[in-house]
């Protein structure tokens, strides 16, 4: 029973929540004839369903799915619910502008943990809003701590509010902002806005807007993954020590209904965030103030008119030039290390790598850059005496102000260049003010273009030959000393011989000559062998070195047809993690043949191949040393619990195709891999595909190779050519790639014998059936992201079917495969891949 004292309160609350159109309709109905009133009452439920007053009751829920419903504000201007995330089949619990085309998000709950499809958000009495995944595991909650929640409301201000039975606010999104403020949403002392990592990545970014306890509004960077705050690159100065208002620090950042933003001081004076703010009418425009992912805090407006072609317009930004303002003493600025920040017309930063450098992560335009050449003291020392190793690229008004390590003044520009050229630590020299030279070392930080440098030059040192320089074999360095020692021994023996009889002397001279001839011949052979490894940029390790590097071959990374792989750490200028492959005893080739094949592998260099760093050839012990890649195999990536994003799978498939094209056609000695499968594809730090174990099949005896690659009783990665006594060509790799491409498309193994559906057990057969029947939805198990890109999905399936043709002559080359995947050439409809084995 409702208490009498609460009836007026409830009535008032209900009247407030009812749209004015409903009130007018109710008044009009009081004066209508009974017959017409009955007709209207029949239609009334239909109208009620179409309206929304923004109220949500305990127990209501939303499910994450494509085109899922949302909770609207009374005017329909704001919506609360799930928005599709940009990576994989995931969703973001968020609030957005519902009436504008781009559905701009203004608040989000789970940026660091996007919700998989099928997740649910529910309004509960004890915990408020609770977001759970399809298995019921909690991903996020509103963490309500005051009272018991009775209802929720999505307001027309864009604020989602949870209320108790007395309509007191128990929680509201305005008090838990993410990267955006809306009109009437204020930021009190201690309040923080955090940027996203990128335009499409909603994880916590590097930039913060904070109203500090001393009343100062600041923008600063943090050193992720910690919350350590660097010195501000913008500060309002509204502290108690402010000369203009010494006793009145900032109390609150206010964003009023008119779109005007200011800091309200304790004495109620206003400090405008931007002088001369001009704002349109709030009745005609939406407003928001967002801390962008690049660190610029900007106020925007957007017309409310439904037919307007305008998008969000920027009114003002802080700071005006973030490239110059965002100087960080420890860490990086707006752009990553070795990058240069420049300002675009909209006052937003643009990051670029200097000449001779490229992005460490090609997908992160604001990330760090790496030199495309080898530079270091050891590398410079190994250059030929007198050789001019470097060239220069000059940039004006460019500087990395926090990377200095030497200041030379007075100095001329020529002397500045020469000093940097002779200094192996120097990466860049800055020449300014007519006689001043700063030398800078890597990594370069806080790079920016600044017109205040008055034409100062950045002299960037770039290596002419960007190949890796050889690491000398210790035995090679000992050759001069050994030669001198041998000469001293000859002189001593000659002196003794002169004192004996002629006959004895002749005998002894002959014996000594034969002995030295034998020693010299062996030494020469070893020097030649080691020199060949030096020319290949490969290091010749001893077995003991690799045993120590792997801690006695302790940590096993994997095992395959060619041997066992162990994790290790070696010193190559610095400590480097490596993967050491201990080859099977079946490698019985002669020493010369082994080194010949290793030389072929060592001469390959491509971004989609795993790089060989060195080898060991000591007695029966033969080992190969590769770079270590942190993200494991493609098999582990594809066949895990979560399905990788469609975009990432596309990139991986194209990367593998490019690597195989290089092996087949572009390296100095063409290589047939013979064992392409997901276990032999590794992923680097940025999930770039890198082909491993290429060239090893040729090191095995033919019968051993055939035995290890055949899959008994099932169709796997092996081309039919192996079983038909046909010549083995590069087309066997094309077949294996086609099988693996289907695995990448479907995220399932090529053979699934445990499946209850017999027609789906062999992926190659089922894929062709799905293609023929037009049921690609089932093939990808209704992967929403892949089906949204149906045109490319169908193209990739057709390419895979061309690759797995039983007739090798019908299979395309890897060049043609790459061109089809990159949409350079058209992909025609493929024939049945196995016409002789398929039933007619």
Report the C-alpha gap between 329 and 322 in whole angstroms: 15
Question: Any binding-site annotation on 439?
Answer: no
**DSSP letter at 633?**
B
Catalytic pick among 675, 693, 733, 783: 675
Placement of tokens 């498939």 in the chain: 653
For the chain, the 3-state helix, strand and coil shares in percent, each to the nearest 5, are 30, 25, 45
Residue 517 in contact with residue 529, Cβ under 8 Å? Answer: no
What angle do the packed helices 790-803 and 731-746 form, to 10 degrees?
150
* Bridge partners, 624 (sequence order): 581, 615
Q: Report the relative pairing of strands 204-211 and 234-235 from DSSP bridges.
A: unpaired
CA 831 to chain centre: 38
Active site residue 404: no
Residue 458, classed as helix, strand or coil, is: strand
> Where do the DSSP E strands lie in 294-356?
297-303, 313-318, 340-343, 349-352
Placement of tokens 């994003």 in the chain: 645
Closest CA to 821 of 788, 789, 787, 798: 798
Report the C-alpha gap between 51 and 75 in whole angstroms: 9
Residue 610, classed as helix, strand or coil, is: coil
* Bridge partners, 539 (sequence order): 614
Report the C-alpha gap between 697 and 728 in whole angstroms: 12
Distances (CA, A) of 840 to 20, 766, 815, 832: 70, 16, 33, 11
Report the C-alpha gap between 817 and 827 in whole angstroms: 9
Report the C-alpha gap between 745 and 466 in whole angstroms: 37
The length of the chain, given as a count of residues:
840
CA 615 to chain centre: 31
Catalytically active residues, by annotation: 675
> Which residues contribute to the annotated binding site for ATP?
582
Which residues line the annotated binding site? 582
């Amino acid at each position: 029973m409702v208490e009498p004292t609460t009836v007026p309160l409830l009535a008032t609350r209900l009247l407030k929540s009812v749209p004015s159109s409903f009130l007018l309709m109710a008044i009009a109905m009081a004066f209508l004839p009974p017959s017409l009133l009955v007709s209207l009452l029949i239609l009334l439920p239909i109208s009620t369903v179409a309206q929304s007053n923004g109220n949500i009751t305990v127990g209501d829920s939303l499910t994450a799915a494509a085109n899922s419903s949302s909770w609207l504000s009374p005017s329909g201007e704001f919506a609360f619910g799930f928005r599709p995330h940009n990576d994989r089949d995931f969703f973001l619990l968020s609030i957005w502008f519902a009436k504008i085309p781009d559905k701009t998000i203004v608040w989000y709950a789970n940026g660091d943990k996007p919700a998989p499809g099928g997740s649910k958000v529910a309004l509960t009495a004890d915990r408020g809003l609770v977001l759970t995944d399809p298995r019921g595991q909690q991903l996020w909650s509103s963490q309500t701590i005051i009272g018991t929640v009775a209802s929720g409301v999505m307001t027309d201000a864009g604020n989602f509010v949870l209320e108790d039975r007395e309509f007191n606010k128990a929680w509201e999104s305005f008090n838990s902002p993410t990267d955006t403020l809306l009109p009437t949403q204020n930021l009190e002392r201690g309040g923080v806005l955090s940027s996203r990592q990128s335009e499409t990545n909603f994880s916590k970014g590097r930039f913060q807007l904070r109203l500090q306890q001393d009343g100062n509004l600041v923008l600063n960077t943090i050193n992720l993954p910690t919350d350590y705050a660097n010195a501000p690159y913008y500060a309002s100065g509204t502290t108690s020590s402010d000369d203009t208002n010494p006793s009145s620090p900032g109390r609150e950042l206010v964003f009023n209904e008119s779109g005007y933003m200011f800091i309200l001081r304790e004495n109620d004076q206003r400090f405008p965030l931007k002088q001369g703010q001009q704002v349109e009418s709030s009745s005609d425009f939406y407003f928001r103030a967002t801390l962008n992912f690049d660190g610029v805090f900007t106020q925007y407006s957007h017309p409310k008119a439904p037919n307007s072609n305008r998008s969000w317009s920027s009114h003002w930004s802080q700071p005006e030039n973030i490239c110059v303002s965002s100087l960080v003493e420890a860490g990086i600025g707006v752009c990553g290390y070795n990058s240069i920040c420049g300002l675009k017309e909209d006052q937003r930063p643009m990051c670029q790598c200097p000449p001779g450098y490229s992005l460490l992560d090609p997908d992160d335009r604001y990330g760090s850059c790496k030199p495309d050449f080898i530079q270091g003291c050891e590398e410079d020392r190994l250059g030929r005496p007198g050789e001019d190793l470097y060239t220069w690229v000059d940039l004006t008004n460019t500087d990395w102000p926090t990377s200095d390590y030497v200041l030379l003044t007075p100095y001329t520009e020529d002397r500045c260049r020469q000093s940097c050229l002779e200094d192996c630590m120097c990466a860049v020299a800055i020449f300014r003010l007519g006689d001043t030279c700063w030398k800078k070392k890597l990594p370069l930080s806080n790079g920016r273009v600044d017109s205040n440098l008055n034409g100062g030059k950045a002299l960037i040192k770039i290596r002419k030959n960007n190949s890796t320089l050889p690491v000398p074999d210790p035995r090679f360095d000992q050759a001069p000393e050994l030669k001198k020692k041998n000469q001293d021994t000859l002189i001593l023996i000659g002196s003794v011989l002169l004192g004996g009889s002629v006959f004895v002397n002749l005998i002894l001279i002959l014996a000594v000559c034969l002995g030295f001839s034998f020693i010299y011949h062996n030494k020469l052979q070893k020097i030649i062998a080691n020199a060949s490894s030096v020319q290949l940029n490969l290091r010749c390790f001893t077995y003991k070195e690799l045993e120590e590097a792997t801690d006695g071959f302790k940590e096993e990374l994997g095992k395959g047809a060619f041997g066992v792989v162990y994790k290790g750490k070696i010193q190559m200028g610095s400590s480097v993690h490596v993967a050491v492959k201990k080859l099977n005893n079946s490698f019985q080739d002669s020493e010369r043949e082994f080194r010949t094949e290793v030389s072929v592998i060592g001469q390959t260099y491509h971004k989609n191949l795993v790089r060989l760093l060195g080898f060991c050839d000591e007695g029966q012990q033969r080992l190969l040393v590769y770079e270590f890649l942190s993200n494991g195999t493609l098999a582990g990536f594809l066949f895990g619990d979560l399905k990788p994003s469609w975009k990432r799978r596309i990139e991986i498939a194209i990367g593998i195709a490019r690597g195989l094209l290089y092996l087949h056609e572009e390296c100095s000695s063409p290589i047939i891999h013979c064992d392409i499968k997901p276990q032999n594809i590794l992923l680097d730090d940025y999930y770039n595909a890198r082909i491993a174990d290429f060239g090893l099949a040729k090191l095995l005896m033919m019968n051993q190779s055939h035995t290890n690659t055949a899959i008994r009783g099932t169709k796997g990665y092996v081309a039919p050519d192996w079983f038909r006594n046909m010549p083995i060509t590069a087309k066997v790799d094309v077949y294996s790639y086609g099988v693996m491409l289907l695995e990448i498309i479907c995220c399932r193994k090529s053979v699934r014998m445990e499946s209850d559906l017999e027609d789906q057990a062999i992926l190659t057969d089922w894929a062709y059936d799905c293609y023929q029947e037009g049921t690609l939805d089932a093939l990808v198990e209704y992967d929403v992201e892949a089906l949204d890109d149906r045109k490319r999905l169908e193209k990739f399936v057709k390419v895979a079917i061309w690759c797995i043709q039983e007739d090798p002559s019908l299979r395309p080359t890897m060049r043609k495969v790459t061109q089809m995947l990159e949409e350079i050439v058209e992909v025609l409809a493929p024939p049945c891949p196995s016409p002789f084995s398929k039933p007619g």
